[in-house]
Amino acid sequence: MIKLFISARNCYLCSKIIPMLENKLFFVDNIIVNREISDIFFCCDLSKCKGACCTLESEFGAPLRKEEIEKIAEVIPEVLEYLSPDHQEAVGKGFFDFKYEEYLVKSINNKACVFAFFENGIAKCALEKAYFEKNTSFRKPISCHLFPIRISNFGTDVLRYERFSECSPALEYGKQLKLSIMEFCKEALVRIYGVEWFNKMKSIFGK
């Protein structure tokens, strides 16, 4: 099935790479999922990583879907109270950029997301804080909610696990809990693809 997908799009590079990964890549409906999402254990351990995903060193923060920009703009008044003055100022100047052919949340000093704030020394998301306190109906960008799963697109969504050294405590904690990336990210996966799709993925991977 994967070979047919590739040949239909005449993708030379993918035709060389994907045959080597055929035992790892599976179709769930029209979505390609890397089996490592099912096989690797993962659960955030904020006491050890200190919310590193909100402060990874990078010119920009998380990818945004175009439709998320308006939703975020609508909730900014409820979000600002959780942010420090410098983050409030940054958000006021515009919270996203369009670069590398995608929308990206801005970061401050090539590190902290503009929506990051610190609580007891742990970096957290002000968008999510406002959501949990029932002040908004938008939780956070789907790319953040799915982390450490990333979505690439080769004519269809391709789900993969993105490794960061900062997340090594999550691998250990996930092993202790016997919680896979797939289960850890269940809420986000259901949010984007639906519960029937999630259950089908579990069935494919024998979970």
Give the ranges where 40-105 is alpha helix by DSSP (H). 46-49, 66-79, 85-92
Q: What would the mean pLDDT of 169-188 be, rounded to a whole number?
A: 97
**Residue 155: what pLDDT?**
85
pLDDT for 9 beyond 50: no
The model carries a pTM of 0.83
pLDDT in tens, 26-64: 999 999 999 999 999 999 999 999 999 999 888 888 899
Q: Could you write out the DSSP letters of every residue in 97-129?
A: EEETTEEEEEEETTTEETTEEEETTEEEEHHHH
Q: Which residue type does 43 have?
A: C
pLDDT for 8 beyond 70: no
**Residue 21: what pLDDT?**
54
pLDDT in tens, 83-114: 999 999 999 999 999 988 899 999 998 889 99
User: How far apart, in Å, are the Cα atoms of 207 and each of 63, 79, 177, 183?
Assistant: 30, 38, 16, 10
